[in-house]
Amino acid sequence: MTGQQRILVVDDTPANIAIIGQAISACYDIIVATNGPDALRLATTEPLPDLILLDILMPGMDGYEVCQRLKGDPLTRKIPVIFITALSEVNEEGKGFLLGAVDYITKPISPPIVRARVATQLALHDQKRELERLVNERTRELENTQDMMIRSLAILAEYRDNETGGHIIRTQHYVRILANELKRGGKFASLFADSRYEELLFKSTPLHDVGKVAIPDQTLLKPGQLTATEFAEIKKHSIYGGDALRRAEESLGVAVPSTFLDVAKKMAYSHHEKYDGTGYPSHLKKNKIPIGARVMSVADAFDAMLYGRPYRERISVEDALDEIKKYSGTQFDPVIVKSLVKMFQSKKLKKYLNLTH
């Protein structure tokens, strides 16, 4: 390792490799392949090349196929490819650019042109990588800020009601476990296969009950059964929370599906909707209820039964599961209920959360 940028030269003609090597070996590390399969192997060998000079006319696997495979592999798709060819027809150049090549060098090879084209493309590649690094760094900063905001709101809810605070943390874990199970198969597998969506749900969960900060203490913390009026007030927490997140979304101008605020808003609004349409606040039914809210509904009810509320005694894990199964298809989505039961039966749920009921 010299610390120099690495260039993979692919050509089945040794004379061409020699000319290219003489032109650029003083400035770069050179590795060589004389056929397509060897080129693909070297392109994926650490340290990866920073640039690939690729001949088109080779026996067996030609340069076009090599380029297509390189651009189809996440490990190598960003490596710039310069084609080296005796072909000068416009349609051939167009084909190469469509496959992802960044430039052409025509034969007979001119060392000054090779040096100039290589230096230009490496400089552009370095700029792209630096830009990606800065974007990733900024993205991490924004994600950290977002996480801090979520945590701050969760702490605020915990100040109002210690049980709500613990509930927030536990249900976040339930949701992640259920999402992991749902992506293993069934009608939700393709949706939950997207790790980004799973992460959005995980991050959104602490905000599902944020609207409770607007509920008066005498109602929120009342021991025993609530009156009809008090229960009607408690039910408003889903609207308070959803409205707050909707206004935040609108003020930022990011009212776009599948963003963090969009997922959190839907979860806050709809986690008390019921599968048969008898829930609140909008009486949504079955697939009209956002999937994140359906997952949250199961997690929310399960935890409420396990840890109790001022107006309700806690029950055992087994009894809680029986209650969840009892209302499968009426209050809860049957697919999500099956996932919860499966996770408990496999002991993954109990082990993960260290339940001791």
CATH number of the domain that residue 18 is part of: 3.40.50.2300
The reply to whether 345 falls in a domain is yes
Instruction: Give CA–CA dist 8/35, Å, rounded.
Output: 12
The reply to whether 96 falls in a domain is yes
- Of the pLDDT bands very low, low, confident and very high (cuts 50, 70, 90), residue 30 is very high
Which sign does the torsion angle of CA 214, 258, 325, 350 carry? negative
Q: What is the mean pLDDT of the chain?
A: 85
On whether both 177 and 319 belong to a single domain, the answer is yes
Which sign does the torsion angle of CA 125, 129, 135, 138 carry? negative
The reply to whether 207 falls in a domain is yes
In this prediction, residues 120-124 reach a mean pLDDT of: 93
On whether both 191 and 94 belong to a single domain, the answer is no
On whether both 96 and 169 belong to a single domain, the answer is no
On whether both 116 and 179 belong to a single domain, the answer is no
The reply to whether 314 falls in a domain is yes
- Coil, helix or strand for 356? coil
Strand locations in 2-42, DSSP E? 6-10, 29-33
- Of the pLDDT bands very low, low, confident and very high (cuts 50, 70, 90), residue 186 is confident
Instruction: Give the angle subtended at the CA of 122 by the CAs of 116 and 126, to the nearest 5°.
Output: 145
On whether both 173 and 66 belong to a single domain, the answer is no
Residue range of the domain that includes 119: 6-131
The reply to whether 333 falls in a domain is yes
Last residue within a domain, chosen from 84, 114, 131: 131
The reply to whether 260 falls in a domain is yes
The reply to whether 267 falls in a domain is yes
CATH number of the domain at 205, please: 1.10.3210.10
First to last CA, the chain: 58
On whether both 102 and 235 belong to a single domain, the answer is no
| Burial class of residue 302 (count of CB atoms within 10 Å of its CB; 0-12, 13-18, 19+) | buried
Q: Residue 165 has what pLDDT?
A: 55
Last residue within a domain, chosen from 113, 131, 149: 131
On whether both 72 and 167 belong to a single domain, the answer is no
The structural domain count of the chain equals 2
Share of residues in the chain with pLDDT > 90 (%): 46
**Does the pLDDT value for residue 356 go beyond 50?**
no
Q: Which of 127, 107, 134 is nearest to 50 (CA)?
A: 127
Tokens read off for 253 = 């101008």
Instruction: Provide the 10 A C-beta neighbour count for residue 285.
Output: 14
Residue with tokens 């001949």: 55
Instruction: Give CA–CA dist 150/161, Å, rounded.
Output: 17
On whether both 224 and 337 belong to a single domain, the answer is yes
**How far from the centroid of its chain's Cα atoms is residue 351's Cα?**
25
Q: Residue 238 has what pLDDT?
A: 94
Instruction: Give CA–CA dist 310/267, Å, rounded.
Output: 24
Instruction: Give CA–CA dist 121/142, Å, rounded.
Output: 31
Tokens read off for 299 = 């997690």
On whether both 221 and 168 belong to a single domain, the answer is yes
Q: Which helix (H) or strand (E) holds 53?
A: strand 51-55
DSSP tag of 313: -
pLDDT tens for 294-341 read 999 999 899 888 876 666 678 888 888 999 999 999 999 999 999 998
**Does the pLDDT value for residue 200 go beyond 70?**
yes
On whether both 113 and 221 belong to a single domain, the answer is no
In this prediction, residues 259-277 reach a mean pLDDT of: 91
Instruction: Give CA–CA dist 162/100, Å, rounded.
Output: 56
The pTM for the full model equals 0.62
Confirm if 39 and 8 have CB atoms less than 8 A apart: yes
pLDDT tens for 164-184 read 557 777 888 889 889 988 988
- Of the pLDDT bands very low, low, confident and very high (cuts 50, 70, 90), residue 194 is confident
On whether both 310 and 222 belong to a single domain, the answer is yes
The reply to whether 171 falls in a domain is yes
Instruction: Give CA–CA dist 131/208, Å, rounded.
Output: 36
**Does the pLDDT value for residue 40 go beyond 80?**
yes
| Burial class of residue 229 (count of CB atoms within 10 Å of its CB; 0-12, 13-18, 19+) | exposed
CB-side exposure of 284: number of CA atoms within 13 Å? 20
Helix axes of 195-204 and 260-270: crossing angle, nearest 10 degrees: 50
On whether both 82 and 175 belong to a single domain, the answer is no
Last residue within a domain, chosen from 131, 149, 171: 131
